[in-house]
Amino acid sequence: MNFTYLDVAKMIDHSLLNPTLTKADLERGIAISLAYDVASVCIMPYALKWCAEKLAGSNVKASTTIGFPHGGHATRIKVAEALQALDDGGEELDMVVNISRVLSGEWDAVREDIRAVIDVTHARGQKVKVIFENAYLNDQQKIRLCEICAELNADWVKTSTGYAPGGATNEDLILMRQHSPANVQVKAAGGVRTLDRLLEVRALGVTRSGATATIAMLEEAKRRLGLPPDPNFAPIVEGQANY
């Protein structure tokens, strides 16, 4: 084996962003995240404070979204969202760029929008993942966003929200890794549902992946590594979304 359990578990941001999830679904998702010791729980903003309280004392970070999923919020609203999330215990914020302005070539406005969220978040010692929504962009736009994120010291560049057509493609991941400095990590979102796919994107330089099929992927990792299954959440159907 060329990976350890934590190598793959700590790649996963367990996604709890589906708007139809109930409070019981969210509670189960947090329990899954703790049981499998993933990197973070990325939860709907209204539930972040409650989530952070449940994760307190663990090695799982509390995260949420900013300007999600369309990115068209006014910058001051994104900043307000970020400040609220930080007050609520958010440690990593996944912000969506202003897609309309990217497509319009309004790069100064795009830069200031990203900068505003990064600045307030870094001032509080926390981290930002910048979501491009690559399904709507051409390669030159993706490259320009990588350059801007490098200038602003973003912590991650991220392929997508998971709600646009398509998800994380190998071509996009390779391009984003090639055009980002070493200090800017790459996150894949959309379509990473099996351990083999998680290992594939890892080989391309991805350090995080948004996921709902967390149980299936990490139970398969345990099986391959000869580790015991989790008694509470295994077995489940391979690739099934689970919360």
pLDDT digits (tens, 9 = 90+) for 186-218: 999 999 999 999 999 999 999 999 999 999 999
The two three-digit tokens of residue 212, written as one number: 């709902």
Query: Is position 233 within any domain?
Result: no
Label residue 239 by pLDDT band (50, 70, 90).
very low
Is 23 among the catalytic positions? no
Predicted structure pTM score: 0.95
Query: Is position 82 within any domain?
Result: yes
Selected catalytic residue, list 54, 61, 127, 187: 187
pLDDT tens digits for range 144-198: 999 999 999 999 999 999 889 888 999 999 999 999 999 999 999 999 999 999 9
Q: What is the CATH number of the domain that holds 140?
A: 3.20.20.70
pLDDT tens digits for range 11-55: 999 999 999 999 999 999 999 999 999 999 999 999 999 999 999
Label residue 243 by pLDDT band (50, 70, 90).
low
Is 54 among the catalytic positions? no
Query: Is position 69 within any domain?
Result: yes
Query: Is position 242 within any domain?
Result: no
Query: Is position 80 within any domain?
Result: yes
- Whether 242 shows a pLDDT value over 70: the answer reads no
* Structural domains in the chain (count): 1
Selected catalytic residue, list 49, 61, 142, 158: 158
Expressed as residue numbers, the domain containing 56 is 5-225
Query: Is position 240 within any domain?
Result: no
Query: Is position 130 within any domain?
Result: yes
**Whole-angstrom Cα distance, residue 203 to residue 195?**
12
- Whether 237 shows a pLDDT value over 70: the answer reads no
Query: Is position 232 within any domain?
Result: no
Selected catalytic residue, list 94, 113, 155, 172: 94
Label residue 234 by pLDDT band (50, 70, 90).
confident
Is 222 among the catalytic positions? no
pLDDT tens digits for range 74-130: 999 999 999 999 999 999 999 999 999 999 999 999 999 999 999 999 999 999 999
Nearby residues of 119 by Cβ (< 8 Å), 6 or more positions away: none
